[in-house]
Chains A and B, each alone.
Chain A
Amino acid sequence: MKKNAQNAGIDEVNFNDSAFKVRLKRNLEILSNVLANPTTVLGLIIVILMLAMAIFAPVITEPNTPDPYQMPRDWKAARSAPLTPGHILGTTNRGGDVFYGVVWGARTSLKLSILVVTLTVVLGVIIGSVAGIVGGKVDEILMRIVDVFLSIPELIFALAIAAILGPSFTNIILALVIVFWVKYARIMRAQVIRIKQREYVDAAKIMGASKLQIYLKDILPNSFSPVMVQATLDMGNIVLVGATLSFIGLSEAGIAEWGVLVSEGQAGISAGRWWASTFPGLMVFLWALAFNLVGDGLRDVLDPRTETKR
């Protein structure tokens, strides 16, 4: 069925087509291939809902003043169960509204994951590209450094760095960047080495393209899809690891962050106050699940083995 759709695509191209239209058509084709998988669609729906929640957080709940990322405290309603007026998901021991935490926690998570993924992708792509293109001793040295980073389990490594830097949200971001860039460097290096041996790179050299042009037009676009898949998966993983770090108290107390909320609520679980931990925990689970589903779907479509057939 997939094949038919692609073949139909060829015949539809006619004299009036422009480069822009053809590119758009191909991107839509890729998108329709992604959407052909129901689990990916499920993941995508959850991702969109999460993003909507993060973006419209000030509309959904009144932002806390002066810092909306800080939990509002309602000491009178402390420890109230779900579905009480004003606190539909209940409150924590310290009177924080769980619903507010869930909604604004999405914002915190989005901020965390986008910042960390952007920084790690940029860092990893630069270092991986340098290693792959320059090769030789530079490659050996950079890859041995990467090996050192990879030899330590990522959670423990992030924990150690965050602990050294001291508890704060910024330090969690920093710790995650230090831990996560190595994967991208590895992936990018492998891709660059694979792509730079392609004959179209030789052809570009022969026609006199500059090294920068070859990198930007031939090597980078053709080696980026595995990085994109990994980045999507990491959008979920980073929130998971970040929540873990917050849970063990490496974040600032009192901020609207899912890990912090789970941590605050855990003391009450044995006393029957399940809500303060469960709802933020569920959010972490859904967030990580959704991005993993989307990442898997992207990987199926952007798989390098099917690349030439597309």
Chain B
Amino acid sequence: MSNSKNTILSLRNVKKHFPIKEGVFQNVVGQVHAVDGVSFDIGAGETVGLVGESGCGKTTIGRCVSGLEPLTDGDIFFDLTPEKLVALEDFEKHQSEIKNKYLIDEIQSTSNISKIEGDDFYNYRRNCQMVFQDSFSSLSPRQLVSDIVSRPLKIHKVCADNELIPRTIELLEQVGLGKQHLYRFPHQFSGGQRQRISIARALALDPKLIVLDEPTSALDVSVQAQILNLLHDLQKQRGLSYLFITHNLSVIRHMADKIVVMYLGKVVEAGKTEDIFANPQHPYTKALLAASPDLSEDVMSDMAALDGPIPDPARPPQGCSFRTRCPVSRTECGWEVDDIIRRLEHHETLIDSIKSVHQPDAFNAKLTFETSFSAIELKDAIGTNDIPKQMRKAIKKIEVDGNDVNISFDPVQTVPLVQSDNGSLSRCVLANK
């Protein structure tokens, strides 16, 4: 990253957990870890692509950035000068010895969007806008285009009342529409035109950052290209930064300067677009690239397509969260008791005869069966090829004691994001070597 430009947005260990509520009294029975410790930066005039399967938390990040969802933990900083960014990184590394205390205080009080309130937050609203996926749902069916596009101008009192309409026409012209479209309802437009209206609305306050939440996935391919080119041109003209959320890798390749790949609420790989496409490090990224229909590249043809379900984000796997579906998983990936239970779910007779599970932590458990026969059967089942070899190797101890089976694994820390050969960050035990 060049050091001369400002960093428009800096996510620091952002977490967003949604409580699972039940019953009349809305008791909290669990937490969905939608976003679990995500950090990345967006520079001025830069496009960062956020990719991942549905349910990986990419849209939640978009909603957190645009201020729609309060964060559970972590910080999002807005518009940091290079000095501030350095000071902040310094502060995070050496918490105890604060060199630039006044600068840190200033950053916290003016740039941390999860802490600022009132006028400062209002100001942030002007600088961060969003374009949604579904243009039917993102434009109110009862408002005219003139109302929709001029509304942000009215709310922020950007211009006098008699200037509203000229400004609105100007905005419409910038997105390839005209004044003949001013007094129409959204339903009178095609999908591509409606998305242009959304973009005009997002541009109205002249923001520095626009969150694009799958802006083209509801459009057909020829229109997609038009919208992408429009976004490209607007970025050049206005020096906008984009946070581009999508699952479409060819779109992201066309648009993004940097890519952040997410899986189960965590970043699994982050780096420059060309690096990631040329030499993906994480097996998940490899699988994603292999899954996208691209005839020109068969480098990844040895990667099997992903199968198996995404684990429950309310109980994300320890260690490497991708290991349950990983084709190249290792013994040290952080296997745990939940993996055995997940396997048991396919084994009806065993899961029916299970009486209780005593699990002091993720890596140790005592499973009690109704009969000692079932307990032995479980041990035998773990010995067979139904269980991945790497997982079998990771089991430290498995003992049958009457009706009980004691299982323990080697405890493993969460796999960290580390710098790999190609300069990108990757969260995989293979990259650690």
On A, residues with C-beta under 8 Å from B are: 10, 13-15, 17-19, 21-23, 26, 136-137, 140, 144, 198-200, 202-209, 213, 217-218, 221-222, 307-310
Contacts and interface: CB of A to CB of B under 8 A. Distances in A.
Given A199-B138, A207-B155, A13 B66 contact: no
B68 A205 contact: yes
A197 to B, nearest CB: 9
Given A19-B147, A199-B132, A218-B140, A208 B183 contact: no
Given A22-B184, A207-B151, 6 more contacts: A18-B183, A19-B144, A205-B67, A207-B125, A208-B125, A221-B142
B188 A10 contact: yes
A22 B144 contact: yes
B347 interface: no
A10 B184 contact: yes
Given A208-B152, A222-B141, A203 B179 contact: no
Contacts of A221: 140, 142
B128 interface: yes
A306 B82 CA distance: 52
Most A C-beta atoms less than 10 A away, residue of B24, B25, B68, B151: B151
Nearest to B132: A199
Interface in B38-52: none
B137 A198 contact: yes
Contacts of B143: 217
Contacts, number: 94
Main secondary structure of the interface of A (DSSP, over half): helix
B146 A19 contact: yes
Given A206-B66, A207-B152, A308-B187, A200 B130 contact: no
B17 interface: no
30 contacts: A13-B184, A14-B180, A15-B179, A17-B183, A19-B146, A22-B183, A22-B185, A137-B25, A144-B24, A198-B137, A198-B138, A199-B134, A200-B140, A202-B63, A202-B68, A202-B130, A205-B67, A206-B128, A207-B125, A207-B156, A207-B204, A207-B205, A208-B122, A208-B125, A208-B152, A213-B155, A221-B140, A222-B141, A308-B136, A309-B187
Nearest to A200: B140
B26 A206 contact: no
A179 B102 CA distance: 63
A208 B138 contact: no
Given A13-B184, A18-B183, A137-B26, A207 B129 contact: yes
B130 A310 contact: no
Nearest to A10: B188
Contacts of B126: 208
Interface of B: 24-26, 63, 66-68, 122, 125-126, 128-130, 132-134, 136-144, 146-147, 151-152, 155-156, 179-180, 183-185, 187-188, 198, 201, 204-205
Given A26-B185, A137-B25, A206 B138 contact: no
A309 B189 CA distance: 11
Contacts of A308: 136, 141, 187
A306 B42 CA distance: 41
Nearest to B181: A13
A172 B392 CA distance: 77
Most A C-beta atoms less than 10 A away, residue of B25, B128, B133, B141: B141
Given A18-B183, A208-B152, A203 B188 contact: no
Nearest to B180: A15
A185 B125 CA distance: 34
A209 to B, nearest CB: 6
A136 B183 CA distance: 39
A19 B129 CA distance: 26
3 cross-chain pairs, A with B, having the tightest CB-CB distances, nearest first: A199-B138, A208-B125, A207-B152
A209 B63 CA distance: 16
Nearest to A14: B180
Contacts of A213: 155
A310 B184 contact: no
A309 B187 CA distance: 6
A208 B68 CA distance: 11
Contacts of B128: 206
Given A15-B179, A137-B26, A309-B187, A206 B67 contact: yes
A308 B156 CA distance: 29
Contacts of A26: 185
A140 B24 contact: yes
Contacts of B139: 200
A200 B125 contact: no
A202 B132 contact: yes
A15 B201 CA distance: 21
Contacts of B129: 206-207
Contacts of A309: 187
Contacts of A310: 141, 187
B160 to A, nearest CB: 18
B205 to A, nearest CB: 7
Given A10-B188, A200-B137, A200-B139, A140 B26 contact: yes
A137 B23 CA distance: 10
A218 B144 CA distance: 12
Most B C-beta atoms less than 10 A away, residue of A136, A208, A310: A208
A222 B140 contact: yes
